Amino acid sequence: MKVSELGERALIARISKLLGKQGNNVIVGAGEDDCAVLDTGGEEYILATTDMLHRKTDFPPEMTGWQIGWMSVAVNLSDLASKGAEPLGVLMAMGIPPDSEIGFVEEIAKGMDDCASRFGMQVIGGDTDSHEELTMAGTALGLVKKELLIRRSGARVGDLVCVTGHLGTAGAALLALNKKIPVGEEILNALFEPFPRINEGIALAKSRAVTSMMDISDGLALSLHDLSRASRVGFRIYENKLPVLPGVKRLFEGEELLDAVVYTGGDFELLFTVAKDKIEKARKACPLTVIGEVVGSGVFIERAGGLEELEARGYEHFGKG
C-alpha cells in the first residue's frame, strides 16, 4: 500500500509503533503530544518539537522571504506554546534551491531571527543544504516547570472548551488569495505571519486552571479529535460561540463558513479545556472564548438545526483526513 492511501495520522501511528520503548527520562515520546518531554533531573522539563515546511505546501508565492523565515520559527513555537513552555532556542535546517538569490536567503534568516527575538530567544543552530524545493525544517526547544506542564490528556467531563483568538482566519486568507479577492492585513497575516501564542500558553499554564491543551494548526475539528483520543473524552461545541472575524464571515456563504472555521488548518491558536470553577482564573491569564464543553464521548457541534457530528477531517499531509 502507498503512503498516499493511508493518510498522515495513520502513518504516524504505524511509525510510532515501530519505535522502541521510550526510556525513563522520556515523559512524553513520539506521536503522543505536540512536543516530546524529557526529564533530565532538574526542576524543569526539556521540551522539543520539530516541523518541516516547504515551498509547494506551505509558502504561497505571495509570501516574502521574511515571512517564510518568520513562519518557519513560529509554527515550532506554537507547539511549545501549547504545552505552556518558555522557548529556549530554535534550530533550522534549510534546504535551499542553488539558484536562489542570496538576498532572498538573508531575508529568510532575518525573518527567523525576528520571530525568535520576539519571543526572547535565538536561532542557536542549523544546517544548509542544496535542495530542489525550498524546505525549512525547524526544531524548537523549551522549558517548563514540572508542575506546570499541560498535556493533551488531562481534559475531564464537565470542563469548558476554550480557544484563543479567532478561527478560520488563515483558511479565509487562502481562499481570498485563490479567488483573488482583496482582504485586509489582519486576515492575510494570519496565514503569512502566524503569531505563536507563547505568552498566552505560559500565562495559562501558570493559572493552573487548564486541564489539557494543544494548538489547532491542523484545524479545530481534527484537533478536537486528537484531544478526544488523548483525554478519552468527547466534546460538544456551540456553532454560535465560535469566534470568527467579521471580515472572514463576509467571505463565505452558507455551509462554506463552518467548513472554513472547523475543517481548515493554518490558525495557530490554542485549544484548551478549563475546569468550570477556574474559568475566571483562565480569563485573567489571557483573552479566550468558551466554545463548548467536555462530554463523555463523541465530537459534536450544536447548530440551529440540531446536534451534528464533527468529522475527523482537516489539514493532513498525503491528501487524507
Nearer to a second copy by Cβ, of 61 and 296: the residue is: 61
46 phi, psi to nearest 5 deg: -95, 130
Q: Grid coordinates in use for 247?
A: 471580515
* One residue of 60, 64, 131, 313 binding a second copy per CB under 8 A: 131
* One residue of 62, 127, 256, 309 binding a second copy per CB under 8 A: 127
Q: How far is the CB of 9 from a second copy (least distance, A)?
A: 9
Q: Grid coordinates in use for 268?
A: 495557530
The DSSP call for residue 233 is -
Q: How far is the CB of 94 from a second copy (least distance, A)?
A: 8
Binding to a second copy by residue 214, rule CB under 8 A?
Answer: no
Contact 251, 176 (CB under 8 A): yes
* One residue of 64, 122, 153, 199 binding a second copy per CB under 8 A: 122
Q: Which of residues 135-174 bind a second copy (CB under 8 A)?
A: 135, 137, 139, 141, 143
- For residue 185, CA distances in Å to 75, 173, 261, 267, 298 come to 19, 9, 19, 15, 37
Nearer to a second copy by Cβ, of 19 and 307: the residue is: 19
Q: Which of residues 23-82 bind a second copy (CB under 8 A)?
A: 23, 25-26, 29-31, 35-36, 38, 40-42, 44, 46, 48-54, 56-57
Binding to a second copy by residue 208, rule CB under 8 A?
Answer: no
User: What is the per-residue DSSP string for 4-63?
Assistant: GGT-HHHHHHHHHHHSPPPPTTEEE-TTSSSSEEE--SSSEEEEEEEEEEEHHHH--TT-
Nearer to a second copy by Cβ, of 93 and 290: the residue is: 93
Residue 53 buriedness (CB in 10 A; 0-12 / 13-18 / 19+):
middle
Q: How far is the CB of 202 from a second copy (least distance, A)?
A: 16
Nearer to a second copy by Cβ, of 11 and 295: the residue is: 11
Binding residues for a second copy, rule CB under 8 A, total: 82
Binding to a second copy by residue 130, rule CB under 8 A?
Answer: yes
Q: How far is the CB of 89 from a second copy (least distance, A)?
A: 6
Tell me which residue of 131, 123, 143 sits closest to 73, measured CA to CA.
123
* One residue of 61, 101, 178, 287 binding a second copy per CB under 8 A: 101
Q: Which of residues 2-31 bind a second copy (CB under 8 A)?
A: 2-4, 6, 8, 11-12, 14-15, 18-23, 25-26, 29-31
Residue 107 buriedness (CB in 10 A; 0-12 / 13-18 / 19+):
middle
Nearer to a second copy by Cβ, of 217 and 264: the residue is: 217
Q: How far is the CB of 207 from a second copy (least distance, A)?
A: 24
Q: Grid coordinates in use for 32?
A: 503522543
For the beta sheet containing 306-309, the strands, ordered from the edge strand earlier in sequence to the opposite edge, are: 210-215, 270-274, 160-163, 289-295, 234-238, 299-303, 306-309
Secondary structure element (H or E) that encloses residue 77, with its range? helix 65-81
Nearer to a second copy by Cβ, of 88 and 224: the residue is: 88
Contact 49, 78 (CB under 8 A): no
Residue 104 three-state SS:
helix
